[in-house]
A and B are shown apart, each in its own frame.
Chain A
Amino acid sequence: MNFKLAVAMLSVSLAAGSAVAQMKPEDAIKFRQSGYTFMSWNMARIKANVDGTYNKEEVIKAANAIQAIANSGMGALFIPGSEKGKGWKDTRVKPEFFTDKDGVTKVAGPFVQQANEMAKVAATGDAAAVKAQFGKLGETCKGCHDKFRGD
Chain B
Amino acid sequence: MSGQRLFLWDLPTRLFHWALVLCVAGAVVTVQIGGNFMVWHGRLGLAIVGLISFRLVWGVAGSTYARFSQFFPTPNKLAAYFKGAWQGHGHNPLGAFSVFGLLALIAFQVGSGLFANDDIAFNGPLQSLIGKDFSDTLTGWHRQSSNLLIALVVLHLGAIVFYTRVKKENLVKPMITGWKDGAQGESARGGGWLALTVALVVAAAAVYGASGAWLPAPPPAPKGVETPNF
Of A49, A58, A151, chain B has the most CB atoms within 10 Å of the CB of: A151
B224 touches A (CB below 8 Å): yes
Q: How far is the CB of B143 from chain A (nearest CB, A)?
A: 6
Instruction: Find chain B residues with CB under 8 A from A48 CB.
Output: 220-221
Q: Quick one: closest A residue to B218, CB to CB?
A: A48
Report if A145-B36 is in contact (Cβ < 8 Å); known contacts: A52-B221, A151-B144: no
Q: How many A-B residue pairs have CB under 8 A?
A: 65
A40 touches B (CB below 8 Å): yes
Is the pair A141, B36 in contact by a Cβ cutoff of 8 Å?
Answer: no
Interface string of A118-148 (1 = CB under 8 A from B): 0000000000000110111111011001000
Interface string of B9-35 (1 = CB under 8 A from A): 000000000000000000000000111
Is the pair B133, A138 in contact by a Cβ cutoff of 8 Å?
Answer: no
A4 touches B (CB below 8 Å): no
CB proximity to A under 8 Å, residues B169-202: none
A101 touches B (CB below 8 Å): no
Is the pair B225, A149 in contact by a Cβ cutoff of 8 Å?
Answer: no
* Chain B: number of interface residues, binned into ranges: 20 to 34
Instruction: Find chain B residues with CB under 8 A from A51 CB.
Output: 221
Which A residues form the contact surface with B (CB < 8 A)? 36, 40, 43-44, 46-49, 51-53, 55, 57-58, 61, 89, 92, 131-132, 134-139, 141-142, 145, 149-151
- Residue from the list B35, B144, B227 in contact with A58, Cβ < 8 A: B227
Is the pair A138, B35 in contact by a Cβ cutoff of 8 Å?
Answer: yes
Is the pair A145, B120 in contact by a Cβ cutoff of 8 Å?
Answer: yes
B46 touches A (CB below 8 Å): no
Q: How far is the CA of A142 from the CA of B143 in the complex (A)?
A: 13
Is the pair B227, A142 in contact by a Cβ cutoff of 8 Å?
Answer: no
Q: Quick one: closest B residue to A114, CB to CB?
A: B35
Is the pair B220, A142 in contact by a Cβ cutoff of 8 Å?
Answer: no
Q: How far is the CB of A37 from chain B (nearest CB, A)?
A: 9
Q: How far is the CA of A51 from the CA of B122 in the complex (A)?
A: 12
Is the pair B225, A58 in contact by a Cβ cutoff of 8 Å?
Answer: yes
